Amino acid sequence: MAEAVAPLRIALAGHVDHGKSTLVGRLVYDTGSLPEGKLEAIRASSAKRGMPFEWAFLLDAFQAERDQGITIDTTQVWLKTAKRAYTLVDAPGHKEFLRNMVTGAAAADCALLVVDAKEGVREQSRRHAYLLGLLGLSQILVAVNKMDLVDYDQARFAEVARAIEAYLDSLGVAPRAVVPVSGREGDNVAARSAAMPWYHGPTLVEAIDGFRPPIPPVDQPLRFPVQDVYKFDERRILAGRVESGRLRRGDTLVFSPGGRKARVASIEAWPEDRRPDEAEAGRSIGITLDDPIFVERGQIGHLEGSGPVETNSLRARIVWLGRQPLVRGKRYKLKLATAEHQVEVQTIERVIDTADLASRPADAVSAGEIAEVVLRARATLVVDDAKILPRTGRFVLVDGFDVAGGGTVALDGHPRARREGIRSTNVKRVEGRIGLAERWQANGHKSGILWLTGLSGAGKSTLAVELEQHLFRKGWHVTVLDGDNIRHGLSADLGFAPEDRAENIRRVGEVAALIARSGMIVITAFISPYRADRDRVRRIAPDLFHEIHVAADLATCERRDPKGLYAKARAGQIPEFTGISAPYEAPEAPDLVVDTARNGLDACLGQLSAYVERSLGKVEESS
Amino acid sequence: MDHLDALESQSVYILREAFNKLDPLGLLWSLGKDSNVMVWLCRKAFFGRVPFPALFCDTGKKFPEMYAFRDRYAREWGLDLTVEPCPPVEEMDPTLPPAARSSARKTYALKSLVQRLELKAVIAGIRRDEDATRAKERYFSPRGENAEWDVREQPPELWDQFKTDFAPGTHIRVHPLLHWTEVDVWRYIRREGIPVVDLYFAKGGKRYRSLGDQDITHPMTSNAATLDEIIAELEATRAPERAGRAMDHEAEDSFERLRVAGYM
């Protein structure tokens, strides 16, 4: 019984009209891989259009492609040599259809770059070669095609071969072979050409058989992006694919962002008698955990100490495919593994000219261009360096409804990159001398962050100051961090755009956590309109964070308007004003809701102090 | 992980993406080998369940064995079976060749199912190796208001990041088996023990390699009466799978025309 082996996937690349489709037709025919009846069908299609036999019709199946003689979309054909089975992924060479070239090439394991012997290395030859590298294809083979048109001239071949080798070398790629061929005549495709006795290297088929199958990333660090959470029955199953490494029953997984931990109780399967004990890279699985921690789509499960990087901004190399150019300052949706985040293009560091690899600064990146950019997100991005773990290091950007670009993450030298493991080490060192419990005992109460969130005018600052005074008089250690005060100093460099608000809240969160860990109660009064920002603060200090919604409807707040801001916002003088021209995302499950529209100040203060007494007032005696 | 495991995991990943992103969702169940493999993969993806309706476009001209198979396995597999009768052939585009015209009936039944159930997306078991136009498909393939396929404007699809954001009125075809080949399907059926209609196995020197309507589907000469024999036959043959499906071969563009108009 023949073993089922995965075919190796080879992407075809090269400039338009350099004969890729013809070469593929020839490869398939000469290896005896052409389906029965196909030759006759191609002959009939060619005759119908008054053309000589056209190999390209094997791939160019659409009427529009045949009538115009160009490849529009990528396609696949199957090839079998004596050694192995292959899937050939043809890709259009026309610049207009670059998105289809990228679609095709991204699905491949290795690549065959076709260069016309007569025309030599052209614009798309270089761009495609560059893209193959960006897409992570390191095994590249070059066919110098149409040797029949240059009379099989050795000197011309050597010239073209030198040019393409020099270019590939500048990308850090060494081709596995450069083969002189003629797709139309079949020279050096499957059989050695009598017309080129000067060539002693492999035929194209021999060179293709020299490709090595890709090595699955089984021995790399574990990455398990959560795809979905199913609750079809009493089990709560986290579904996802192991993108790298191995996941074993009994492993303790850390889910980033957030850092919550639990053990893998089972690897579920259907039929149920096939539950495995481990699953390796590439496998789609479902797991249950021993602890019902909150996990959602987009988080990545990994092992402690070998986790991905958590960051709010990242540097990436992208290829842009959108109808509209990529613009600095514009927001796009980034999709990486199963996570989706809004990102803003903070800087376009350079646009790379693939002709000579020169680069220039730019404010926009047009379709077909390659660029290095810095993207910034409000939420925490969990990423790997694409050079090390490509499956969690590459992403697409969505503009409106359309996938408009692809990119790979480059983490080298990135200052904001923080490793999950390093963070927890530092925290432990600080807590080693005087424990938090000791501080609580000395103070007679617990510490924490009382995070007041709500619309401008809801009463956050008023309540914060009142509560601070109330607790201070009782002898408690307490302080207030107020929005306006922070913006005079710590966050003086920030404005009110969403990402500036995000950064402001992040800083406040970090400072509040430091103060709370010193044993004090911190009351913060910030609108903090975005759920993601508040969730990030919660993640900084999950054990100390109390989310308190100071709730009042917009009409009430607008009527109060203590700083006259609503009036200005209505008049269009304040952009991005929460409630008017920017959203307020109310907490979904706050620890406390204080309704200042319905209740007076004293009642609200009473409610707050009762909550603080209840949750922070009692310190357990240490044994 | 072997080749079949890899194929299975990729399809399961796609099914789960579709289930997460596209709601409501339906699964086209034509009763053929590929769509039975699809049902099986759904049960793998969703731990024994098929959490959306199984859609059957009834031409009224399937083989009796197929109807018997449908009734038995819809029950055994716990499928939420939804049957849609196809309109008469007289209502189809008269410029299509006869067999294509007959096949177009299914497109109409599918469109009315999509409307009636207000489906955002339909899962179909087509594969790239079946036909040169299917070879150019995407895993997530957007269709217009009338289910038409715009072959010039297919979305980029890289690194398993599928198009999941759509303008209102867009309808999606999801193709989780796109990367499988015919022999892969049979090897998987053999490994997993998936039931298929008997017509695939040779009787009296003939068997059906692809199943459609009785009047436009022809058996091939074959003595392959077991799974092992079918797999051995497919490893050796160079004859195309859909040779026995009349609508593919009437004119150079007949299948593309069918598909552009919304055929699977």
Q: What is the ipTM of this complex?
A: 0.92
How many CA atoms lie within 13 Å of A203's alpha carbon, on the beta-carbon side? 18
3 state DSSP class of A414: coil
Kindly indicate the confidence band of residue A540, based on its pLDDT and cuts at 50, 70 and 90. Answer: confident
A219 falls within a domain: no
pLDDT at A162: 93
Query: In this complex, do A321 and B156 lie within 8 Å of one another by their Cβ atoms?
Result: yes
Kindly indicate the confidence band of residue A100, based on its pLDDT and cuts at 50, 70 and 90. Answer: confident
Instruction: Quick: pLDDT tens for B95-148.
Output: 888 778 777 888 888 888 888 999 999 999 999 888 778 888 889 998 877 777
pLDDT at A427: 38
Whether residues A69 and A147 share a domain: the answer is: yes
Nearest-by-Cβ selection for B132 from A3, A5, A75:
A75
Interface test with B, best of A396, A397, A409 (most B CBs within 10 A): A396
Amino acid at A350: R
Contact indicator for B54, B74 with CB cutoff of 8 Å: yes
Query: Residue A276's domain is classified under what CATH number?
Result: 2.40.30.10
In the numeric block, the tokens 């600095």 are attached to A328
Whether residues A293 and A318 share a domain: the answer is: no
Whether residues A137 and A62 share a domain: the answer is: yes
Instruction: Quick: pLDDT tens for A302-333.
Output: 999 899 999 888 999 999 999 899 999 999 99
Burial of B89-121, coded b for 16+ CB within 10 Å and e otherwise, reads: beebeeebbebbbbbbbbbbbbbebbeebebbb
A218 falls within a domain: no
3 state DSSP class of A127: helix
Residue A80 clears pLDDT 90, i.e. is over it: no
Contact indicator for B45, B176 with CB cutoff of 8 Å: no
Q: State how far residue B152 is from chain A, nearest Cα, in angstroms.
A: 7
Instruction: Quick: pLDDT tens for A44-68.
Output: 888 888 888 887 787 777 777 777 6
Contact indicator for B66, B211 with CB cutoff of 8 Å: yes
Nearest-angstrom CA–CA distance, A145 and A56: 14
Whether residues A611 and A500 share a domain: the answer is: yes
Whether residues A399 and A503 share a domain: the answer is: no
Tell me which residue range forms the domain holding A169. Answer: 8-209
Average pLDDT over residues A384-392: 91
Angle between helices B3-21 and B33-45 (to 10 degrees): 70
Q: State how far residue B156 is from chain A, nearest Cα, in angstroms.
A: 5
- The conformation of residue B82, written as its DSSP 8-state character, comes to E
Of B36, B134, B133, which is closest to residue B79 (Cα–Cα)?
A: B36
Residue B75 clears pLDDT 70, i.e. is over it: yes
Chain B environment of A68 (Cβ under 8 Å): none
Q: Which residues contact A162 (CB under 8 A, 6 or more apart)?
A: none
Q: Among A209, A241, A267, which residue terminates a domain?
A: A209
The DSSP bridge partners found for residue A112 are A12, A141
Nearest-by-Cβ selection for B238 from A35, A41, A321:
A35
Residue A175 clears pLDDT 80, i.e. is over it: yes
Residue ranges of domains in chain B: 3-180+252-260, 198-248
Query: In this complex, do B161 and A2 lie within 8 Å of one another by their Cβ atoms?
Result: no
Whether residues A384 and A441 share a domain: the answer is: no
3.40.50.10440, 3.40.50.620, 3.30.70.20, 3.40.50.2300: which CATH number matches B3-180+252-260?
A: 3.40.50.620
Whether residues A486 and A604 share a domain: the answer is: yes
Contact indicator for A488, A419 with CB cutoff of 8 Å: no
- The conformation of residue A103, written as its DSSP 8-state character, comes to H
- Sheet of strand A140-145: strand arrangement: A75-80, A85-90, A8-14, A110-116, A140-145, A178-180
Nearest-by-Cβ selection for A270 from B43, B129, B187:
B43
Instruction: Quick: pLDDT tens for A433-485.
Output: 678 888 898 888 999 999 999 999 999 999 999 999 989 888 899 999 987 78
Joined together, the tokens standing for residue B31 give: 């009763």
Instruction: Quick: pLDDT tens for A560-575.
Output: 888 889 988 888 888 8
Contact indicator for A105, A116 with CB cutoff of 8 Å: no
The length of chain A, given as a count of residues: 623
Chain B environment of A232 (Cβ under 8 Å): 46-49, 51
How many CA atoms lie within 13 Å of A537's alpha carbon, on the beta-carbon side? 33
Query: In this complex, do B161 and A335 lie within 8 Å of one another by their Cβ atoms?
Result: yes
Amino acid at A55: W
Q: Report chain B's C-alpha Rg in angstroms.
A: 18
Chain A environment of B50 (Cβ under 8 Å): none
In the numeric block, the tokens 């392959």 are attached to B224
3 state DSSP class of A554: helix
pLDDT at A1: 41
- The conformation of residue B116, written as its DSSP 8-state character, comes to H
Centre a 10 Å sphere on the Cβ of residue A364 and count the other Cβ atoms it contains: 16
Q: Among A180, A209, A238, which residue terminates a domain?
A: A209
Instruction: Quick: pLDDT tens for B4-54.
Output: 999 999 999 999 999 999 999 999 999 999 999 999 999 999 999 999 999
Interface test with B, best of A76, A334, A341, A409 (most B CBs within 10 A): A76
The DSSP bridge partners found for residue A551 are A595
Whether residues A447 and A593 share a domain: the answer is: yes
- Against a cut of 0.80, is the pTM above it? no
- The conformation of residue B178, written as its DSSP 8-state character, comes to T
Closest CA in chain A for residue B235: A2
Chain B environment of A107 (Cβ under 8 Å): 158
Contact indicator for A258, A306 with CB cutoff of 8 Å: no
Average pLDDT over residues B217-221: 87
Chain B environment of A36 (Cβ under 8 Å): 237-240, 243
Phi and psi at residue A237, to the nearest 5°: -105, 125
Q: How many domains, chain A?
A: 4
Nearest-angstrom CA–CA distance, B72 and A55: 47
A35 falls within a domain: yes
Average pLDDT over residues A211-234: 92
3 state DSSP class of A133: helix
Chain A environment of B48 (Cβ under 8 Å): 232, 270-272
pLDDT at A432: 59
Query: In this complex, do A77 and B3 lie within 8 Å of one another by their Cβ atoms?
Result: no
Closest CA in chain B for residue A233: B47
Whether residues A190 and A232 share a domain: the answer is: no
Closest CA in chain A for residue B44: A270
Whether residues A589 and A441 share a domain: the answer is: yes
Q: State how far residue B5 is from chain A, nearest Cα, in angstroms.
A: 7
pLDDT at A202: 93
Chain A environment of B167 (Cβ under 8 Å): 401
Joined together, the tokens standing for residue B199 give: 């017509």
Query: Residue A36's domain is classified under what CATH number?
Result: 3.40.50.300
Q: Quote the mean pLDDT of chain A.
A: 87
Kindly indicate the confidence band of residue A153, based on its pLDDT and cuts at 50, 70 and 90. Answer: very high
Nearest-by-Cβ selection for A228 from B20, B155, B183:
B20
Chain A environment of B20 (Cβ under 8 Å): 227-228, 297
Residue A428 clears pLDDT 60, i.e. is over it: no
* Run of H or E residues at A279: strand A278-280
Joined together, the tokens standing for residue A201 give: 């290297």
Query: In this complex, do A99 and B243 lie within 8 Å of one another by their Cβ atoms?
Result: no
Joined together, the tokens standing for residue A385 give: 């360096």
Check residues B50 and A580 and name the one with the higher pLDDT. B50
pLDDT at A523: 96
Chain B environment of A61 (Cβ under 8 Å): 131-133, 135-136, 256
Nearest-angstrom CA–CA distance, A461 and A133: 54
